[in-house]
Structure 1
Amino acid sequence: MPLFQLILIAIIQGVTEFLPVSSSGHLILLPGLTGLEDQGAVIDVAVHLGTLFAVILFFWADVQVALAGTLRLLQGKLDTPGAFLALCLAIATVPVVIVGLILHLTGLSDAMRSITVIGWTMLIFGLFLYWADQTGAQDRTADRWSLRHAVIMGLWQAVALIPGTSRSGITISAARQLGYARSDAAKLAMLMSIPTILASGVVLGIDVASRADAAAARDGAIAAGFAFVAALLALGIMMRLLRSVSFTPYVIYRVILGIILLAIAYS
C-alpha cells in the first residue's frame, strides 16, 4: 500500500479514535468517498494497536492502578480502589464484547457499513452528545465511578458498534448525562477504550493472522506507528481543551458531516 495512504489512514484513526467523531465511520468513508483502495483488516488491526498503546501511555498512572487491581480481583479481593476500577472496566466491556461477537458472526457488521447509516448516526448521536453535555450536571468525578454507571456506560458503548456512532462520543454522552464533569467523562471513556480496543484487536487479529505476509506486516507497523503519534497528540489536545471548551465544536462537525453524507446518500 502506498506510504501516503498508510499515513492518511493512521492519522484519521489516531485522531478520530478518541475524539467523539467516530473513527470507524471515517475509515469506512475514506475509500468510499475518495476511491482509494480499502485498507483491509491487517491495517485496521495495526492502527487500533497504535491507538491502544497511545491511550495506555497517556493514562499510564490509571492503567497501573487498574492492572494492580486486576491482580487483586483475580484473587477474589475487592479491597482496593484499583480492584474496583478493574471490576468496573470489566463490567463495562461485557456488553460490547457480546454484541460485537454477534454482529461479527452474523455478518451484520458489514451490512451497516454504508454512507446512509453513518450519515444518520453522525447526526443523531452528535445531537445526543450536545443534549447530554448541555443538560448533564458536573458534580461527579471519575473516582466516584459506580458499578451501576459502569453497566449503563457499557450498554451505551455497545451501541457504538453501529458505524458513525463513535465509541468515545457515546460513552462521553452517557457519562455527562450521569453527571460526570467533562474531563472526567472523557477520562472514563478513554479508560473504557483500553479493554474494548484490546478485545476487538484480538478478534480481528485471529482473522488476519494466517493471511498476513511480510509486506502486510511492514505496512501494519508503519500504520501503527503513525496512529500512535496521532492518537497521543489528539488525546493531549482534547483533554487540555476540555478545561475550558465544551463538546460543541465536535457536535457542529458531526452535524455538518452527517447532513452532507445524507445529502450524498439520498441524491
Structure 2
Amino acid sequence: MITLAAAAPDTMSWSQVIVLSIVQGLTEFLPVSSSGHLRIISELFWGADAGASFTAVIQLGTEAAVLVYFAKEIWQILTGWFRGVFNKDQRGFDYRMGWMVIVGTIPVALVGVLFKDLIREGLRNLWITATVLILFSFVFIAAERMGKKARGYDELTMKDAIIMGLCQCLSLIPGVSRSGATISGGLFRNLDREVATRFSFLLAIPAVLASGLFSLPDAFNPEAGQAATAPMLIVGVAICFVLGYVSIAWLLRFVAHHSFSWFAAYRIPVGVLVMILLALGVLQPY
C-alpha cells in the first residue's frame, strides 16, 4: 500500500475524496470500469475500500453531466413519452424511446435491490475486479469484430433495449464497466458504435440517479466502506460533473472513428498488474 494521507479506516480524507472523484469523472463513461478503478486506487493508496455507496453518490455528478449534455434529446423523449401516454396519435419515436429506457432499466433495478449486500461487499474482491478487467476485454474485441455496426439511431427497438438493459446488470461487478457492457450488447445487435454509445448513456440515467439517491444515507454511515461528510460529497459530485461532461464529449468523438478494442489494450495490462500486486501482498483483496 502507498500512503498518500493519514485517515481513520472508517473515515475518508479530503485527498481521497478529490483523487477518487477525479478518477470517477474521467472513467465513468469510458469502458474501463470506474468502480473498478476506484476500488483499486482506494486500496493502493489508502489501504481501504471507499465503498459502493460513496461511488454511487458521486456518480450523481457524472449523470448530471449526461442530463446537461443530452438536455435537448432528453426533453424530446420526456415530452414525446407523456404526449403518447395520453394521445395514441402522438406515439412516435420519442414515445417508444421513453419506453425503451424504462424497460431497459428494470433488470438492473431488480438485480440491484435483490443482491444489494453482495454488490456492496462480496463482489468488491480485487481478485474479481482484476479478473473481470481482463476477461471482459475479450467481449469488447468480440463485439467489435462480430457486430456489423449498420443500424442507426432511429432503428433502435425494444429488443435492443432489453438486451442492453440485461448487459447493464453486469456493471454491478467492479471491473466490467457500465458503458462497456451496454455498448458491447448494442454492437452485438449490429448497432452503429456511436448509436450504441448514445443509447448506453441514456439507459444509465434512471439506474444511476436512483442508485445515487438510494445510497445517499448510507454514504454518511456505511455498512461497508468509509464514511464521507456532506461537504466531501458535494465537492465530489461537482468534480465528477465537470470531468464527466468533458469525458462524454471526448468519447463520442473517439467512437466515431476508433474501435473499442483500444480500451481492451488498456484494461488487460491493468488487470494483470493488479493480480501481480495482489500476489506480492502490496494490495489486499478486501
TM-score (norm 2): 0.85
Q: CA deviation at 1:219?
A: 1.1
The size of the alignment, in residue pairs, is 263
Q: Write out per-residue CA displacement over residues 58-101 of structure 1, whole angstroms, 9 at most, x where no aligned residue.
A: 11122112221342355475712211111000111000000011
Match of 2:6 in 1: none
Summarize the Cα distance change of 1:166–1:45 in structure 2 as closer, same or farther, 3 Å threshold. closer
Match of 2:225 in 1: none
Summarize the Cα distance change of 1:219–1:131 in structure 2 as closer, same or farther, 3 Å threshold. same
Give the alignment partner of residue 85 of structure 1, picking from 97, 100, 110: 97
Would you say the 8 A contact 1:43–1:219 is kept in 2? no
Residue 49 of structure 2 is aligned to residue 31 of structure 1: no
Q: CA deviation at 1:253?
A: 0.6
Q: Write out per-residue CA displacement over residues 104-159 of structure 1, whole angstroms, 9 at most, x where no aligned residue.
A: 1x445411101110011111111101110122101101221101111111111111
Summarize the Cα distance change of 1:38–1:76 in structure 2 as closer, same or farther, 3 Å threshold. farther
Structure 2 unaligned regions, length at least 5: 1-11, 223-227, 281-286
Would you say the 8 A contact 1:109–1:162 is kept in 2? no
Code of the residue aligned with 1:233 in structure 2: it is: V
Code of the residue aligned with 1:236 in structure 2: it is: A
Give the alignment partner of residue 49 of structure 1, picking from 54, 60, 66: 60
Distance (whole Å) between structure 2 residues aligned to residue 42 and residue 161 of structure 1: 12
The 5 Å alignment of 1:182-193 reads 182-193=193-204
Give the alignment partner of residue 7 of structure 1, picking from 12, 15, 18: 18
Code of the residue aligned with 2:124 in structure 1: it is: R
Give the alignment partner of residue 137 of structure 1, picking from 118, 132, 148: 148
Q: What SS does the corresponding residue of 1:160 show, helix, strand or coil?
A: helix
Give the % identical residues.
30
Distance (whole Å) between structure 2 residues aligned to residue 155 and residue 243 of structure 1: 25
Moved more, 39-48 or 79-88: 39-48
Residue 229 of structure 2 is aligned to residue 216 of structure 1: yes
Structure 1 unaligned regions, length at least 5: none
Q: Write out per-residue CA displacement over residues 218-248 of structure 1, whole angstroms, 9 at most, x where no aligned residue.
A: 1111111111111111111111112221112
Q: What SS does the corresponding residue of 2:161 show, helix, strand or coil?
A: helix
Would you say the 8 A contact 1:89–1:150 is kept in 2? yes
Match of 2:3 in 1: none
Summarize the Cα distance change of 1:182–1:71 in structure 2 as closer, same or farther, 3 Å threshold. same
Distance (whole Å) between structure 2 residues aligned to residue 8 and residue 83 of structure 1: 40
Would you say the 8 A contact 1:11–1:230 is kept in 2? yes
Match of 2:284 in 1: none
Would you say the 8 A contact 1:43–1:223 is kept in 2? no
Distance (whole Å) between structure 1 residues aligned to residue 94 and residue 71 of structure 2: 13
Match of 1:241 in 2: 254
Summarize the Cα distance change of 1:206–1:141 in structure 2 as closer, same or farther, 3 Å threshold. farther
Instruction: Tell me the C-alpha RMSD between the 2 structures.
Output: 2.2
Distance (whole Å) between structure 1 residues aligned to residue 104 and residue 158 of structure 2: 9
